[in-house]
Amino acid sequence: MESSTQSSPLSSWSDCFVLKRIRMLVPVGFKTEVKELSKLAGPVVSSVHLLYSHFSTIFCGHLGKTELASVSLAIATFGSGNFLRVGVIMQRAILILILACFPCWAILINTEPILLAVRQEPEVARSAVFKKPLPLPLLATFMYSLETKYLQNQGIIWPQVITGFVVNLLNALINYVVLHALKLGVAGSAVANTISQFAMAGILYAYIMWRGLHKATWGGWSKECMQNWGSFIHLAIPGMVMLCVEWWTYEIGAFLAGLISEVELGAQSVVYQLANIAYMFPIGFSVAGSVRVGNALGAGETEQAKLSAKMSMFCSGQCALTHYLILFVHILFFPNRQIRERVADVISFYAPVILLDAISGATSGIIQGAGKQRVGAICNTLGYYGIGFPIGVPLMFAAKLGIKGKIHSRDVLFSLYPS
């Protein structure tokens, strides 16, 4: 009787072996690392949720159907304890980004003829002239990006949240006034965004100065910022390519969707925004992973960097699966029936893209933190233009799947990218 109630030694050893194998799969210190990543990711997610671009999309949705990744330099420098050099890198970045504004201005000013050259609908191209005011806040956009990266690499995140909250309220109010009270349409939204860009950069700068967040790393302007541009650009160009290749894929996808119909173009825009919403939590862990990996490598702690990389990918994937439910709110802010039905049709099989995009975003942050932007640029270029487009374009046009074909190609791409 007693023997029947007690487990056999063999069973006990088997249970111990199974538990030991399970523990081996869990990295040592994973709880602490998840907490540290969450401390960085939480404020980033909050600040991204407060970006006013989402308000612009929601307001404009009712109008009708018709940085540089070289921040890894500063991250590694801060991790090594050379604080004042972070300020020199910041100065160097300011000068280089001012020069980078000029080619961007040239493209934005000529938005309408560029759209007409790629055979977009003339009415759609004319509506896009609202981008012409964008050269005005472009410098403010770059400066705000630099300010956030300057703080992020030091592990300071909450000022962006506070700034985002204030400007978010301001932008929502301005959008309501210009779109509904003044009836200025899409051009009014551009005006609201222009004001908000300058407000966001200005308020964050004022907050940094008020709280003295710059004192540890800013020793004043130095002649040293005019030197060693080569090492900066060596990281900046691949980092820019790494990011732009991905962004350009969405923009080219919009051009291709516009060649099919306005409904496809509208659905592409809504799906793109929904993908951005679903990416909010993973991007927080991507930034956190980049900071943690960069600081660990700067301090010479290789094992800690590996742990941070693993945990950032794990957390990004988990958050993406949870946040997928947000996609079902798309009907709430788009009244056009044709576009709403098309989006509902497309979004039903978008889940794999959300998960794989989150994991690839985490790997991008790890690559940036490790200063391996060239590797990321090569992978993105080959993946998007060597695999994604050759599969997606025939599916969009020859197979007549529309933007569904583009999403199928992203499924294939992201399934290969994390590996």
Q: For the chain, which ranges sit under pLDDT 70?
A: 1-28, 43-82, 120-121, 123-136, 186, 257-258, 260-274, 277, 323-351, 403-419
Per-residue pLDDT at 55: 43
> Are residues 376 and 361 in contact, defined by beta-carbon separation less than 8 angstroms?
no
pLDDT attached to residue 345: 66
Which pLDDT value is given to residue 219? 83
Instruction: Convert the pLDDT of each residue in 243-266 to its tens digit.
Output: 787 778 777 777 776 676 666 666
Q: Tokens 């592409």 map to which residue?
A: 268
Single out the residue of 39, 41, 141, 24 nearest to residue 358, CA to CA: 41
Three-class secondary structure assignment of 144-190: HHHHHHHHHCCCCCHHHHHHHHHHHHHHHHHHHHHHHHCCCHHHHHH
Query: Given this model, what pLDDT does residue 1 score?
Result: 42
Looking from the CA of 398 toward its CB, the CA atoms found within 13 Å total: 6
For position 330, what pLDDT does the model report?
Answer: 55
pLDDT tens, residue by residue, 121-140 = 676 666 655 545 555 677 88
Q: Where are the domains of the chain?
A: 34-416
Q: What is the pLDDT of residue 387?
A: 81
How many angstroms separate the CA atoms of 305 and 141, rounded?
31
Structure confidence at residue 14 (pLDDT): 55
Distance CA 4, CA 266 (A): 68
pTM of this structure: 0.63
